[in-house]
């Protein structure tokens, strides 16, 4: 079953990759549902959608929930859709696995007039298919360094929930998918229909695309960073994670001295700014070791450390285990499970 040309205002083809995340998918789909009719009968009157995947059948989400798709992507009638929205896998590498199979299908969608939308790690798939050449993108903050390393020629924007670049749209994922749905529905159905149902979803308001996520300024202890200079410093540290910059550069960017910045971090987090930044970098490296098979040298580069031996030394000092041992332990646990 595919969409057919009728009087529906806007049509979406939702494409799910294996191990896709439920939060952005559910948020996006529920926003379509609320805006699709006058009441709350789940009638696809103003918005219409279908769910597809590379192969027809059951797709397992990252949380283990099984979702049944309606048809294989090769059978989609792309000319009947305004948007082809792809929901990426939990991991970037996994999202790119079937790029050779997706590439001709997604290119066909473009030639038939559809706008391509990448949500979460689907941006990696689009880039691997060379569908983002000449376009700027946004990705989830946790994967920014990975994307920049993998695709250095594609301009990467920070501090945005989604980005519209002609017939390519990228979204960081999570609840930002709701805001993107509001934006797309507004274009075709009007703002009133686009906002319908947000109260039912307990969404206070539709955030703008350049909305700053407050929790990104939280300290690593989970408490909100304070004062304003500390919040700004933490945001800059995240943006410069892969750059071999010094704390003096961070201090200069926010207009205070290195000594003042250290004092603020001591008061808020009981550590120096340099110590805080190192902890942030090592935290990212720990996550990458547990969630990828990248060489340690590449992971070290992602966090702005060019010397692998120094990286391993600092990692062991912080976590009590060196990176190679951590990876072996994780592999042993996964194979015995």
CATH of the domain at 231: 1.10.10.60
Domain tally for the chain?
Answer: 2
pTM for this predicted structure: 0.73
Cβ distance 187 to 247 under 8 Å? no
Cβ distance 122 to 223 under 8 Å? no
274 and 168 fall within a common domain: no
145 and 176 fall within a common domain: yes
180 and 222 fall within a common domain: no
228 and 305 fall within a common domain: yes
251 and 183 fall within a common domain: no
307 and 176 fall within a common domain: no
Q: Please confirm whether the linkage preceding 227 is cis (ω < 30° from 0).
A: yes
Domain hosting 121: range is 10-195
Q: Which residue is listed with tokens 């709350």?
A: 40
SS3 content of the chain, % helix, strand, coil (to 5): 45, 15, 40
40 and 189 fall within a common domain: yes
Q: Is residue 186 part of a domain?
A: yes
Provide the pLDDT for residue 329: 86
pLDDT digits (tens, 9 = 90+) for 157-168: 988 999 999 999
123 and 222 fall within a common domain: no
187 and 225 fall within a common domain: no
CATH of the domain at 45: 3.40.50.880
Q: Is residue 134 part of a domain?
A: yes
Q: Which residue is listed with tokens 């075709």?
A: 188
47 and 16 fall within a common domain: yes
188 and 240 fall within a common domain: no
pLDDT digits (tens, 9 = 90+) for 205-240: 767 665 556 555 554 444 444 467 888 899 889 888
Provide the pLDDT for residue 216: 54
Provide the pLDDT for residue 158: 84
* DSSP alpha helix (H) spans, the chain: 22-35, 92-95, 99-111, 122-128, 144-150, 176-189, 191-195, 228-239, 247-253, 258-269, 273-291, 296-302, 308-319, 323-336
Q: Is residue 207 part of a domain?
A: no
Give exposure, 306-328, as e/b (b: 16+ Cβ within 10 Å). eebeebbebbeeebeebbeebbe
Q: Tell me the torsion sign for CA atoms 240, 255, 273, 223.
A: negative
Q: Is residue 148 part of a domain?
A: yes
136 and 20 fall within a common domain: yes
State the Cα–Cα distance between residues 130 and 150, nearest whole angstrom: 12
Name the stretches of the chain with pLDDT < 70. 1-7, 206, 208-227, 333-337
Last residue of a domain, one of 168, 195, 222: 195
Q: Is residue 5 part of a domain?
A: no
Q: Is residue 239 part of a domain?
A: yes
Q: Is residue 206 part of a domain?
A: no
């Amino acid at each position: 079953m595919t969409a057919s040309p009728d009087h529906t205002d806007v049509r979406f083809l939702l494409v799910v990759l294996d191990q896709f995340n439920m939060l952005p998918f559910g948020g996006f789909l529920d926003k379509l549902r609320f805006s699709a009719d006058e009441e709350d009968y789940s009638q696809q009157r103003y918005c219409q959608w279908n769910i597809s995947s590379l192969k027809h059948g059951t797709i397992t989400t990252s949380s283990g929930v099984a979702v049944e798709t309606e048809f294989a992507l090769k059978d989609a009638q792309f000319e009947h859709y305004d948007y082809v929205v792809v929901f990426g896998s939990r991991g970037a590498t996994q999202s790119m696995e079937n790029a050779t199979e997706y590439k001709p299908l997604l290119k066909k969608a473009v030639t038939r007039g559809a706008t391509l939308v990448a949500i979460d790690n689907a941006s990696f798939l689009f880039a691997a298919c060379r569908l983002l050449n000449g376009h700027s993108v946004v990705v989830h903050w946790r994967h920014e360094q990975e994307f920049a390393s993998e695709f250095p020629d594609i301009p990467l924007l920070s501090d945005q929930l989604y980005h519209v670049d002609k017939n390519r749209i990228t979204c960081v994922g999570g609840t930002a998918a709701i805001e993107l749905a509001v934006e797309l529905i507004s274009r075709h159905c009007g703002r009133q229909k686009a906002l319908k149902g947000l109260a039912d979803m307990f969404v206070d308001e539709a955030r703008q695309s350049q909305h700053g996520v407050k929790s990104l300024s939280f300290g690593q202890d989970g408490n909100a960073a304070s004062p304003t200079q500390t919040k700004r410093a933490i945001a800059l540290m995240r943006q410069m994670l892969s750059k071999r910059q010094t704390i003096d550069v961070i201090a200069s960017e926010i207009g205070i001295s290195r000594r003042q910045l250290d004092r603020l971090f001591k008061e808020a987090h009981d550590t120096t700014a340099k110590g805080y930044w190192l902890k942030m970098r090592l935290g990212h490296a720990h996550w990458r070791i547990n969630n990828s098979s990248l060489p340690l040298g590449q992971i070290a580069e992602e966090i702005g450390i060019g010397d692998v031996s120094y990286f391993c030394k600092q990692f062991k000092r912080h976590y009590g285990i060196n990176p190679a041992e951590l990876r072996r332990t994780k592999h042993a646990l996964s194979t015995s499970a």
